[in-house]
Structure 1
Amino acid sequence: MTLDANRLEPVDSLQPGGAAEEVRDIVLLGSTGSVGTQAVDVVARNRDRFRVVGLAAGGRRLQILAEQTLDLQPAVVAVARGGAEEDFRAALQQAADARGLRAGQWPAPEVLTGAAGVEQVAAWPAHTVLNAVDGALGLASTMGVLRAGSVLALANKESLIVGGRFVTEAAAPGQIVPVDSEHSAIAQALRSGTRAEVAQLVITATGGPFRGRTRAQLADVSVAQAMAHPTWSMGQVITINSSTLINKGLEVIEAHHLFALDFDQIAVVGHPQSRIHSMVEFVDGSTIAQVSPPDMRLAISLGLGWPERVPAAAQTFDWTQPETWDLFPLDHETFPAVQLAYQVGRAGGSAPAVYNAANEVCVRAFIDRRLPWLGIVDTVARVVADLGDPAVANLDDVLAADAWARRRSNEFVEV
């Protein structure tokens, strides 16, 4: 049984069934990234639960992908970079040689390349597909998984931001299981009550590396400073998104779609220690929080094994040591990204896709030193303000708005 993320089914339908299920066939998309490599670690330590049948990666870390292929022995591997089959096979041979393996001593997988290859792996026969592809590019894979009927362990929040209701409408009840730590926390806390008993969701935010600073103090932020997240070790884009709080804005919109609650029922609170991953407040005044040390392997293991927990998936607290946890309201004047997310979320249609697309362009411009850190959210706001009617009739309309937002953002960046 899987989480009905879209409909918030009563708690009785979400309880674990006791004994673990038979070995699940798993596909890992984005296997060489931060979430993907941690997922490989979860699988490697739980061979009695999970068997990887497919891998997909962008192509920048072919040596890691080759090592994963030898370790996990999937039937198929996809590299998003077109024409990379020869390079990958060379990396695979090199990895095999380093282990002293001769031809025939390790199974050679089917190798696919390009976006079409990744989509083919996304639809590969499997129980669960983890989508940890970076950015809006993950949308095609998300739709492919849903059409194929596999459970979607969703770590690619952007595909839900861009696809919105088209993604949730394509999903069968229980087909989407959240992997973001905040949404996994909410899913766990929701086991304590029914939909009718939920008052609001409370998403926590570390505040990033610049918490407590004023806008004037952030005029000359460097990429290295933006990458210095106080608690999490993540990829470059998501870490910079965390520094601006864009990531938290995306999570608000994601929670709206995953749990089908109004934006008025979704709150954000600062919590720098990253121990409380999110909370659910119920109508009787009770608030249930999911707490653990900051370790993505917990959310990943739940995404792969839902509704069963995977023993020893992640580190635990040492309760003999003191812990002090803080909660505080966000500084919306210095960090306007979250309020802007509420604005575009309520507007609906293509507005969230525009918010996300503009941010992806601006983050890349910041990394390339073509845009100051403060210019990221400022430019996103300008692009959102230029958007006309956000109404869309289909996913093609959303993708057209995404393309427009990228062009418009580049125009502002190049000024």
Structure 2
Amino acid sequence: MRKNPSSLPPPLPPLSPPSFSSSPPLLHSTISAWSLSSGHQTDLLLRVQGTCFRLHKDRIISRSSYLKRHLTNLTEFTLSPPLNITPHTFAAIAEFCYSSRVHLTPNNVAAIRTAAGLLGMTDSRGYDGENLCHVAESYFNRIVGIDQEYASVVLRSCMALLPEAETTASLVSRCIEALVWDDYDGHDIDATCLNVVVEIRPQDFQSVVDSINARLPHHDVLYRMIDLYFKENKNGKLTEEQKSQLCNSIDCTKLSPPVLMECVQNPRVPLRFIVRAMLVEHLNTRRSIAVAAAASGGNQQDERESLGDILRRDSARRQTAQLKEAMDSTCSRIQSLEKELNGMRKILLDHHAADAEQQERKLNALNSERSASFHVMPAAAEERKIGRGGRGSVSSSALMYDGESGTPRMTKSLRQRLMSGLKNAFHRKSL
């Protein structure tokens, strides 16, 4: 029996095309144009954080060594962590794979440069000598090097891309270098532009610090940045071990004299780093004093001194006096630290002694209680024992202690029972 057509379920709707992030019309038109020109339809379904991209496999693997390794025998693939790539960023990358064009801005150059590095988009053979890493790198250097405002925008955009933004292309450290190096005069650095670094996680901040250590010939910038990080994370976010690791990245011999003096007086840095800075400061001070003394002695041997020689000698003397003053300040700082350490050591020793004394008192009290429990019997317990013994024990009920003489005596009831027993025995015997 044939069913009524009206009773049949409605036909299924056609499958909707996958959604695209970024600019769907532009990317979709680019892919469609490529399909018409090549005569091939899309043969790859690639997912990025839940968004689907239908692409031509040969166009993608020809530009990305990473995808070439993973898509050789696949028609579907998912880009998942640890790849830090968003659908919006991948849409721009896919556009470049088809047209060799990419729209770069200060807000997206860090994301595209990082993604290009993760995907291995460094091969330029057959594509006009350009690859995405090179294009993004050129744009980054151009805008970061000419405008600090652009460098700040790129630096802020890198925060969500760590640690990949630093491990693939050192983007964070290069932005910091561009922000502070132009203003560096060997004496002072404005670290307010680095406030964004306090948002970095400690493990990511360590990688940025290591990169800056290898890039900068002077470490004043590095010290300012680490000190700012300590100042803004003073509520227990950093452990002492993490602080020590960060300070180990600072080369005290690459610090300017004012910054080195500041390190010695800084209570936020670990004590080990303070001692290292003091040693370097003493070494520099002694070297400067020796040079100044040699210059002064040489001028004194010259009988015919010019005005310039006299001025240089006076300047050397003033510098020597300043260096001696700095050395005295450093010695005072060392003495105060030694006093603090001795005070802390005394507090610890007193605390341990008090604990030991308290433990000894507790042990003695416990031993006394145990001794009393074994050798002292309460009066009530003694009376109960005597009462129990009166039921059948002659030794406990027949003897009583005389209050005056302290000698035991027989109770009256017992004496009467003995006399009665003897009388009965003699009576039976007489019978």
* TM-score (norm: length of structure 1): 0.25
Structure in which a larger fraction of residues adopt strand? 1
Structure in which a larger fraction of residues adopt helix? 2
Structure with the larger RCO, 1 or 2 (CA within 8 Å, 6+ apart):
1
Larger radius of gyration: 2
